[in-house]
Amino acid sequence: MTLEQSIDLAELQADMAFEAYLAAFDEDAHPQTLDSLETEALIARSRYDDLRSQGLGH
C-alpha cells in the first residue's frame, strides 16, 4: 500500500469513526459508549493527521 493509499484509508476510517460517534450521540447512547466512540474517533483522526504530515514532508 502506498503512502497516499494509507492516508486515504486513514481519512476514511477517521470519518467513519466520527460518524459512529455522532450517530450514537443522536441516539442518546450511554455516556461510556459515547466516551469510547469519541476516543476511537480522536485516535483515528490523529492517525490520519500523522500520515498526512508524513505525506506532506515527502
14: how many CB neighbours lie within 10 A of its CB?
A: 20
Spatial separation of the C-alpha atoms in residues 24 and 49, rounded to whole Å: 24
What string of pLDDT tens digits covers the 58 residues of the chain? 899 999 999 999 999 999 999 999 999 999 999 999 999 999 999 999 999 999 876 5
Q: What is the pLDDT of residue 55?
A: 83
Spatial separation of the C-alpha atoms in residues 58 and 14, rounded to whole Å: 22
Cell 466516551 belongs to 35
The pTM (predicted TM-score) of the whole model is 0.87
Q: What is the pLDDT of residue 16?
A: 98
